[in-house]
Structures are given as structure tokens and as C-alpha cells.
Amino acid sequence: MLSHHTTDCIVIGGGVIGLAVARALRRDGLRVTLFERNTQPGGEASWAAAGMLAPQAEADAPGVLFSLCAASRALYPAFADELRAETGIDIELRTEGTLLLAFTDEEVQHLVEKRAWQTGAGLRAEPLTPFEAREREPRLSETIRGALHLPDDWQVDNRRLTQALVASTFRAGVDIHCDAGDIQPIIEKGRIRGVTALGKTWHAPLVVNAAGSWAARMSPELLRLPPASVRPIHGQMLSLHMQPPDLLRHVVRSARAYLVPRRDGRLIVGATVEDVGFTKQVTAGGVARLLAGTIEAVPLLADMPLGETWNGLRPLAEDDLPILGETDVTGLFCATGHYRNGILLTPITATLMADLVANRTPSLDPLPFSPLRFSKDMNQAHS
Ligand code: FAD
Ligand code: GLY
């Protein structure tokens, strides 16, 4: 006979998304239990990321995803302050901005087009000559043909962010269980009643699936999405030690690599984008491509010592949009599919999910992100 626990809400997955949603629900006064499959939370994509808060650098056109990303960026200064007040952990929000580099005519044209639609939308995007770009970052290559400064595309240290979210949720009384093993839903009459996990029954009227790239790998009943709706996109990363430690101050991006300088002198270099299933390995070819992109942008970095290499899996939804909201099972919610912007999207996801759970009107239309957009496929996949 299984022992029983009762709580208000269960969150599955302890990455930045699950942790931030748990924190927001707890702040709304709910009792929250979080299950993480690994030995500790925050060790997957949320740990592997570069921490760029880059709606403008990442987007090629306006749209619902861009608006969500921009809204989340605006929440970051207050989010960082709150986390520091709650935990003492500084997530190192850096606001020097991002420099996009062009090395070819085609890349120059791409920056011209990006600037046009972004300034048209009222955003700041300042074109720079190569000379002006090197005035801002003197170590940039002599071979750049043009640059765009995005003063509002920032960065945080995502590993510190996960630490801060773990500390915040723990202190707020979220009940965190690691090594969670298989989790099965309890669904009765179209409504979630809780889950079985760790050999026990956990009763709750609300369950949030925030299992990142694995969200569609669990019991399909728990996800209520077709198995192919979320898949992993592999990214390889490496770090260098800058000498001096402030050799770069901006995030620097080209079409071949991005360089993210941390306050402690590490330079985070990313990233490959590989559709290779759940295989996770750092390869010679991946590292070679990243280093070539690095040295092309800042030749002096060829002399800097290598730090770590690592990798992670970005959760990508079939239609490239995050999956946020209630499924066709009452009380069963999803928060996944954040792909290349999950660090950026953490605060807006938490706010939006808490609003939806509490039946408050969110600040943004949640409909484009609803899991219900997959319901037809789900019914076909499981019929
Ligand atoms: P994850 O961090 O993967 O967390 C999911 C958690 O669920 C994991 O801890 C996992 O163990 C757990 N889990 C899985 N299955 C189960 C189960 N059955 N039961 C319980 N727990 C389970 N985003 C940005 O905004 N800026 C960036 O610069 C950036 N750079 C990136 C670079 C790389 C190389 C990668 C890989 C990603 C990057 N991203 C970036 C994207 C961002 O990291 C992700 O979108 C974000 O971390 C997703 O968070 P998550 O909590 O959904 O997933
Ligand atoms: N947003 C950076 C990446 O996904 O690599």
C-alpha cells in the first residue's frame, strides 16, 4: 500500500523553468512539491547555457516569441534584485550590451535588415563602423566589415541563476525531491489528481510538467502532448580564461560563435546547434568550429588558456514556440519548449504560469503558447 501525501501543486523538473514556476506558485501561497530526476536540480540545459538575455540578437523578425522574449528581458533587473535580496546570490546581470559582428557582404546586409526592423519597432540598435566597434572592444579583429550594438541585449551567469533559484525555493519552503525516478500521473474524469513517485502517492489538484527536453519522454498521459512535440537540440560549449580578466566586456556574436565574458575572467564560447537526439558529447569538430569562430572575432584569444568544455540539450517544440499553459486535462500544465531562450524567458514564464494557475489575466496573450495547439496531433498519436 502506497503512503499518501497531499500538496497544492507538483512541479516536475528542476531546471530554471521548474524552479522559477515553483517559486512563483509558492509566492502565491501554494504548497509546492518539486521532483527532479537527477541527484540535484539545475544540472541540464540551465547549467549548460551561456546566459545571454538576447531577444534582439536571436530574432530575425518580430512576432509573438520576440514579444515574449522582450517582455521577459524587461523583468530581469527586478528579478535579479529580488533573488539577491532573498538569497544573497548575485546572478551578475551585466548590461554592457551585445556587439554583433559582420565579416562578409551578406552578414553586413543581415545587420542592416535587423537594424531596420528593430529600430522600426522602437528598439535600440546602433550601427557601428569597424573603427567604432574597436573603440568599444579594442581586441576585435581588424577584418570585421561592420557591427551592430544592441545596448539592451544583456547577460546573466545562468549557473548562479540556478543556484539562486534553488536557494530561493528551498528557503520559501518548496519541498524538493531529487532522484525522482519514474513519475506517473493520476488522472480521473479529465482532471489531474496527483502523481505516483518515489513509491508514494502525491495528491495535488495541479501538476506542472517542466521537464525540459524530456517533457515529451515521460508518460504521454502526463504530458498530454504527442511524443514528437518536444525534442532536444544539442549544444557544445567551451570556456577560455581571459588575460587580463576584462579583455572583453560586451557579449560579442558572429554567425559562427558567441563570446560571453564573465566577471571572474572566464569567457563562455558557444555554441553548436545539432539535431542529434539525446546524444550528448563534446566532439573535436564541435570544439574546432567554436575556436575558429572565436579567433576570427578576437585573434588574441588564440593565446588564452582553455578552461572547460561541456554540452546541453535545448528543448525545442515542433513549431519553435514555448509550450506554456493548461493541457486538455484540467489542472495539468506544461512549461517547456524554451529552446535557445530559456534563461531569458525564465521570469516571464514564471509570471505567466502563476497567472494562468490563479486564473488572473496575464500581461501577454498566452494563446499562441497553449499546449492545446497540439491536442489534435495528440489524439491522433494515441488513437
Ligand atoms: P532544463 O534545464 O533541461 O531542466 C529540465 C529538468 O527536468 C532537468 O533538470 C531534468 O533532469 C529534469 N527532468 C527531466 N525528466 C524528468 C523526470 N521524468 N522527472 C523529474 N525531472 C525530470 N537560453 C538563454 O536564454 N540564453 C542563452 O544564452 C542560452 N544558451 C544556451 C546554450 C546551450 C548550449 C544550451 C544547451 C541552451 C542554452 N539556452 C540559452 C537555452 C536554455 O538553457 C534552456 O531553454 C533552458 O535552460 C530550459 O530550461 P528547462 O528548465 O526547461 O530545462
Ligand atoms: N541562445 C544561445 C544558444 O542557444 O546557444
Superfamily of domain 92-155+231-317 in CATH is D-Amino Acid Oxidase, subunit A, domain 2 (3.30.9.10)
Average pLDDT, 10 consecutive residues per value, the chain (383 residues): 85 98 98 97 98 97 96 98 98 98 98 97 97 98 98 98 98 97 92 95 97 86 74 98 97 98 98 96 98 98 98 96 95 96 98 97 96 70 45
One-letter-per-residue 3-state SS of the chain: CCEEEECCEEEECCCHHHHHHHHHHHHCCCCEEEECCCCCCCCCHHHHCCCEECHHHHCCCCCHHHHHHHHHHHHHHHHHHHHHHHHCCCCCCECCCEEEEECCHHHHHHHHHHHHHHHHCCCCCEEECHHHHHHHCCCCCCCCCEEEEECCCEECCHHHHHHHHHHHHHHHCCEEECCCCCCEEEEECCEEEEEEECCEEEECCEEEECCHHHCCCCCHHHHCCCHHHEEEEEEEEEEEECCCCCCCCCEEECCCCEEEECCCCEEEEECCCECCCCCCCCCHHHHHHHHHHHHHHCHHHHHCCEEEEEEEEEEEECCCCCEEEECCCECEEEEECCHHHCCCCHHHHHHHHHHHHCCCCCCCCCHHHCHHHHHHHHHHHCC
Ligand 1 centre to CA of 195 (Å) is 22
| Residue minimizing CA distance to atom 51 of ligand 1 | 15
Q: Is the fold of 3-48+160-230+319-381 the same as that of 92-155+231-317? A: no
pLDDT at 4: 84
Whole-model pTM? 0.97
Q: Which atom of ligand 2 is nearest to the CA of 273?
A: 5
Q: Which atom of ligand 2 is nearest to the CA of 341?
A: 1
* 260 CB near ligand 1 (under 6 Å): no
pLDDT at 322: 97
CATH class, 3-48+160-230+319-381 region: alpha beta
Give residue limits of the domains in the chain: 3-48+160-230+319-381, 92-155+231-317
* 370 CB near ligand 1 (under 6 Å): no
